[in-house]
Amino acid sequence: MSGPRRDRTHWLYLAVIAAVVLGVGVGLIAPDLAKDLKPLGTGFVDLIKMMISPIIFCTIVLGIGSVTKAASVGRVGGLALGYFLVMSTVALVIGLVVGNLLHPGDGLRLTDEVAATGASQVKESESTTEFILGIIPSTLLSSLTEGEVLQALLVALLVGFALQRMGPAGEPVLRGIGHLQKLVFRVLAMIMWLAPVGAFGAIAAVVGETGIDAVKSLAVIMLGFYATCLVFVVAVLGTMLWLVARVNLFSLLRYLGREFLLILSTSSSEVALPRLIAKMEHLGVSRPVVGITVPTGYSFNLDGTAIYLTMATLFVANATGAPLSAGEQISLLVFMIIASKGAAGVTGAGLATLAGGLQSHRPDLVDGVGLIVGIDRFMSEARALTNFAGNAVATVLIGTWTKGFDRARAQAVLSGGAPFDETAMTDDHGTSAQPERHLAGTSATAAR
């Protein structure tokens, strides 16, 4: 019975590919019509974002509630944040090195129109204080209705620890949240059937708005950025994944192929967050590790955004005739380590973070942000793909370090011996609400 279900979803993702090709064609042939199709892509992304908060809430509460000792949760969270800080710094350094080799932006001129576009981006960004205060929701329930990922993360942590302190009395609540998680994933599976429509509208609109000429004029920075992201994923993440977990990077990326397709067509890594949670649990990573690492990584482990921030800053500095000295680049590196932590995984967030960062660090460069607006949509795809790959690898690594990763299970899944249930969006491994699963000393799939 499961075979036909997977066959239907297989056709769904073939339809997504066809929709992307059709969208490009419409954008080139009828750009005015293509621009009017933008709400199709926006609507699909909004539907996915509608599900993010409840999925994060259920996942984190079940993850923390299934661990008997709060210290174990703290150990996973601390290890994850430490890893995120190190990898973001590595990504920033790589971006600076490549940017200095390519010298992007040399020879471009800043017009009044471009300067106005760059200045407008600062208004869309927020200060560090606003970002921190924004983590606190107005009410306990508003964190699940306002669509703020970090607010949902905070409330889920509080509820999870509260249920942990309740002991056996909290088990009925955990089971109820487990059933709610199943319901949420079923609703998400229904929404996914609109993916071809969303992909068609998103791609058609961006091609219609920018055209091919706009991309050609800035091909150096764009291609250099894509190449840098590719090198980072393969050389850095791939090497760590093999050395630590003995997992082949390309096998993992193939397992997550449909998620990458969604991200490529919508330019948002958030559309794949629920599926990453389900697939990582199915892969053999314990629920506490997945529940803590994935949602946290979506706000703090943005490797692609880190590379983008440094390369784009060098591009803007060169294009405005104010290149950065070595000392200024080091100062910029330190600043961007902090600035990159608040960028969400949605389209356009990287551009706003870049503008806000320059406003605080080098205000004289803000006007130059307008130079990169024309291709930011294309670069945001590489950002989202790299961020997603980084979070997938991080989940396996954290699981390995905390003894919450079943390597035998992963080998079976990656070899095709234990296929993922695409229709249900998860399986019994991913939805079981039994609280007796611990983080260390017990495999997440020992009962299978």
* Mean pLDDT value across residues 424-447: 40
Q: Where do the structural domains in the chain lie, given as residue ranges?
A: 2-431
Q: How confident is the model at residue 426 (pLDDT cuts 50, 70, 90)?
A: very low
* Mean pLDDT value across residues 205-231: 72
Question: Whole-model pTM?
Answer: 0.66
CA distance 180 to 144: 13
58 membership: H or E segment, kind and range: helix 38-65
Among residues 100, 75, 97, 86, which one has the least CA distance to residue 289? 75
Q: How confident is the model at residue 367 (pLDDT cuts 50, 70, 90)?
A: low
Tokens of 147: 């669509």
Among the ranges given (311-320, 405-414, 428-437), the one the predictor scored with the smallest mean pLDDT = 428-437
pLDDT of 290: 87
Among residues 328, 373, 321, 383, which one has the least CA distance to residue 351? 373
Distances 241 to 17, 83, 88, 131 between C-alpha atoms, Å: 29, 13, 16, 32
CA distance 224 to 209: 23
Q: How confident is the model at residue 66 (pLDDT cuts 50, 70, 90)?
A: low
Q: Where are the alpha helices (DSSP H) in 103-218?
A: 112-124, 128-133, 149-166, 171-191, 195-216
CATH 1.10.3860.10 matches 2-431: yes
pLDDT of 401: 92
Residue type, 139: T
Q: Is residue 307 within 8 Å of 94, Cβ to Cβ?
A: yes
Instruction: Say how many residues make up the chain.
Output: 448
pLDDT single digits (tens) 385-423: 898 999 999 999 999 998 889 999 999 999 888 888 766
Q: Is residue 392 within 8 Å of 278, Cβ to Cβ?
A: no
Burial 20-39 (b: 16+ CB within 10 A, else e): beebbebbeeebeebeebbe
The residue to which tokens 């992307």 are assigned: 20
What percent of the chain has pLDDT above 90?
12
Distances 160 to 164, 165, 252, 298, 443 between C-alpha atoms, Å: 6, 9, 30, 19, 21
Among residues 289, 270, 281, which one has the least CA distance to residue 385? 270
CA distance 131 to 75: 25
Q: How confident is the model at residue 253 (pLDDT cuts 50, 70, 90)?
A: very high
CA distance 98 to 300: 23
3-state secondary structure string across 363-410: HHHHHHHHHHHHHHHHHHHHHHHHHHHHHHHHHHHHHHHCCCECHHHH
pLDDT of 307: 87
pLDDT of 399: 92
Q: How confident is the model at residue 158 (pLDDT cuts 50, 70, 90)?
A: confident
pLDDT of 213: 55
CA distance 383 to 230: 11
The mean pLDDT value of the chain amounts to 74
